[in-house]
């Protein structure tokens, strides 16, 4: 029987963890144990997370561009949308250093929203 969280994650399949170190965890013999794995095991298709301390303003811009790209072009994969978002943030303001955009990773299935 489905739990409430599994049902919610199936209807909202992409989880975004923009907080600091959201993609980190402990290594096991088959995977990294952490927040992304917990969401994937609970029914999320994908998790977008940052591997280090996320800076608020560029993180917000990156996630906004990620979703704007997916809404504007539904056939675009999440991986392609993440790349477009990273490039956009890299070109914006003084956010060229990788600290502001390179820490994001996409785990799981990369199709659509």
pLDDT in tens, 17-70: 877 666 666 555 555 567 788 888 888 888 898 888 888 999 999 999 999 999
Place of tokens 């402990």: 26
Which residue from 64, 49, 47 is spatially nearest to 103, judged by alpha carbons? 49
State the Cα–Cα distance between residues 74 and 68, nearest whole angstrom.
Answer: 10
The CA-CA-CA angle for residues 4, 79, 28, to 5°, reads 65
Q: Per-domain residue ranges for the chain? A: 4-108
pTM of the full predicted structure? 0.80
Length of the chain counted residue by residue: 113
Give the number of other CB atoms < 10 A from CB of residue 62.
Answer: 29
Answer for the pair 17, 54: CB distance below 8 angstroms, yes or no.
no
The percentage of residues in the chain with a pLDDT greater than 70, rounded to a whole number, is 74
Supply 49's token pair. 């997370």
What whole-number percentage of the chain has pLDDT above 90? 38
pLDDT number for residue 113: 61
Please name every residue paired with 50 in a beta bridge, in sequence order, or none if there are none: 104
């Amino acid at each position: 029987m489905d739990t409430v969280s599994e049902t919610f994650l199936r209807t909202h399949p992409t989880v975004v963890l923009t907080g600091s170190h959201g993609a980190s965890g402990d290594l096991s013999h088959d995977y990294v144990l952490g927040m992304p794995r917990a969401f994937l095991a609970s029914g999320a298709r994908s998790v977008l997370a940052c591997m280090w301390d996320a800076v608020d303003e560029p993180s917000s811009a990156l996630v906004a561009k990620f979703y704007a790209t997916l809404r504007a072009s539904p056939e675009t994969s999440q991986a392609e949308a993440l790349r477009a978002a990273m490039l956009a943030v890299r070109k914006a303001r003084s956010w060229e250093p990788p600290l502001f955009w390179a820490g994001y990773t996409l785990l799981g299935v990369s199709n659509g929203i």
